């Protein structure tokens, strides 16, 4: 069914090694021989057995991307860019869905598919630095600010600054009762913590007091969580004039809840999100958000991995910051 080097070699009347040389672009093969081998390759539709090649070379050409959930638009968009960036290096991407739980994430970090992958790009939710210390697995690049000063390479955005900019933007509209949605009480929610810090910093700069009733924690960052948080906030009698959600999905849920409560956006309540997912560009109203440069994040991560695979496995961990941009739209017009 499937042919091996040996079959091609027999057909071309050369040795297995010569076929291998042709396949791998080795220089010193006589044009006539090369032509004969190439004809045989085409006739038999030869495709290398990557497992065997990998066993021999120690490389698979496959990297893994581990994300909490694929159907969260931010991760889906990120995955798209990672797959594209990996393709530039000739790599295939194996995607792992961790669910965000600590145990599954530890398993993923410890080695998805083990020797099947050359490297791992990992966007953890609940993993701590401790979980990563004693890993002797493949090179890893972490995405997002969840694990501080871990032993691995890291691509982040400046969450604090971004959150401060959004909040300042809302304050600039004359809003003073600004809710923050998406805080995470767990110690692992580093992203949430940083965004909350930016929010607080902006309030302080503007001389606005911090009101904990305006800060809503959510178990996750899905639309339903955002809607529930807003419903709860409004039901408790707290009436914000702006809402900063820590993700766009939260914000879209919030928009929905505000709509149900009969409040107009942005007239009554301005709303801003974070992530710049495509939904926010078509929602009613369109969503003001922080746009992290996802393509850049993906490319930086892949390039970091390429560097590790290229040799310097023992260089100290690097941390790169991708740019972001505040993108005002109708929800804060």
Partner DNA sequence: GAGATCCTTTACAACGTTGGCGACAACGGT
Partner DNA sequence: ACCGTTGTCGCCAACGTTGTAAAGGATCTC
Three-state secondary structure call for residue 181: strand
What are the backbone dihedrals phi and psi of residue 275, each rounded to the nearest 5 degrees, phi first?
130, -30
Check residue 236 for interaction with a copy of itself (CB under 8 A).
no
Check residue 311 for interaction with a copy of itself (CB under 8 A).
no
Strand order across the beta sheet in which 242-245 lies: 215-217, 178-183, 242-245, 270-272
Judged by phi (left if over 0) then psi (alpha if -120 to 50, else beta), residue 149 lies in: left
Check residue 256 for interaction with DNA (CB under 7 A).
no
Check residue 55 for interaction with DNA (CB under 7 A).
yes
Three-state secondary structure call for residue 294: helix
Contacts of a copy of itself in 94-133 (CB under 8 A): 94-97, 111-116
Q: Which is closer to a copy of itself, CB of 58 or CB of 310?
A: 58
Of 163, 227, 290, 298, the residue at the interface with a copy of itself (CB under 8 A) is 227
Check residue 279 for interaction with a copy of itself (CB under 8 A).
yes
The contacts of residue 17 (CB under 8 Å, 6+ apart) are none
30 binding partner (options DNA, a copy of itself, none; Cβ < 5 to 8 Å by kind): DNA
Question: What number of chain residues touch a copy of itself (CB under 8 A)?
Answer: 53
Of 24, 134, 262, 282, the residue at the interface with DNA (CB under 7 A) is 24
DSSP character for 122? E
Check residue 44 for interaction with DNA (CB under 7 A).
no
Residue 271: closest CA among 291, 249, 251: 251
Of 15, 49, 204, 236, the residue at the interface with a copy of itself (CB under 8 A) is 49
Residue 106: closest CA among 137, 80, 75: 137
- The enclosing H or E element of 326 equals strand 324-327
Check residue 20 for interaction with DNA (CB under 7 A).
yes
Check residue 28 for interaction with DNA (CB under 7 A).
yes
How many residues make up the chain in this entry?
333
Check residue 278 for interaction with a copy of itself (CB under 8 A).
yes
Check residue 80 for interaction with a copy of itself (CB under 8 A).
yes
Check residue 32 for interaction with DNA (CB under 7 A).
yes
Taking CB under 8 A as the binding criterion, the range among 142-150, 160-168, 175-183, 221-229 that sits at the site for a copy of itself is: 221-229
Q: Which is closer to DNA, CB of 57 or CB of 80?
A: 57
Question: Exposed e or buried b for every residue in 59-81, given b needs 16+ CB within 10 A?
Answer: ebebbbbbbbbeebbbbebbbeb
Report the sign of the C-alpha dihedral through residues 269, 275, 276, 280, in that order. negative
**Residues engaged in binding a copy of itself (CB under 8 A):** 1-2, 45, 47-52, 54-55, 60-62, 69-71, 73, 76-77, 79-80, 83-84, 92-97, 111-116, 136, 222-224, 227, 252-253, 255-256, 259, 278-279, 281-284, 286
């Amino acid at each position: 069914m499937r042919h091996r080097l040996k079959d091609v070699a027999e057909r071309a009347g050369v040795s297995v090694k010569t076929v291998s040389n042709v396949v791998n672009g080795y220089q010193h093969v006589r044009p006539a021989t090369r032509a004969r081998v190439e004809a045989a390759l085409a006739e038999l539709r030869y495709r290398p057995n990557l497992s065997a090649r990998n066993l021999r070379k120690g490389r698979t050409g496959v990297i893994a991307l581990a994300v909490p959930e694929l159907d969260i638009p931010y991760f889906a968009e990120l995955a798209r860019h990672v797959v594209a960036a990996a393709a530039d290096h000739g790599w295939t991407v194996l995607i792992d869905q961790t669910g965000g739980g600590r145990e599954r994430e530890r398993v993923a970090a410890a080695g998805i598919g083990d020797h099947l992958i050359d490297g791992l790009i990992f966007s953890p939710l609940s993993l701590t630095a401790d979980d990563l210390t004693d890993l002797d697995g493949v090179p890893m690049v972490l995405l997002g600010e969840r694990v501080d000063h871990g032993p691995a390479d890291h691509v982040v955005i400046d969450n604090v600054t971004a959150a401060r900019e959004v909040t300042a933007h809302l304050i600039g509209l004359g809003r003073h009762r600004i809710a923050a949605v998406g805080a995470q009480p767990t110690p692992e929610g580093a992203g949430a913590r940083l965004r909350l810090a930016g929010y607080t910093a902006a309030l302080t700069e503007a001389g606005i007091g911090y009101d904990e009733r305006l800060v809503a924690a959510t178990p996750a960052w899905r639309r339903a969580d955002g809607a529930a948080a807003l419903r709860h906030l409004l039901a408790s009698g707290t009436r914000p004039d702006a809402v900063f959600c820590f993700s766009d999905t939260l914000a879209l849920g919030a928009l929905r809840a505000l709509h149900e409560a009969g409040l107009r956006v942005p007239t009554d309540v301005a709303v801003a999100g974070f992530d710049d997912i495509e939904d926010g560009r078509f929602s009613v109203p369109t969503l003001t958000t922080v746009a992290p440069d996802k393509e850049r994040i993906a490319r930086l991560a892949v390039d970091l991995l390429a560097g590790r695979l290229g040799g310097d496995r023992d260089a100290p961990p690097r941390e790169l910051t991708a740019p972001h941009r505040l993108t005002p739209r109708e929800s804060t017009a």
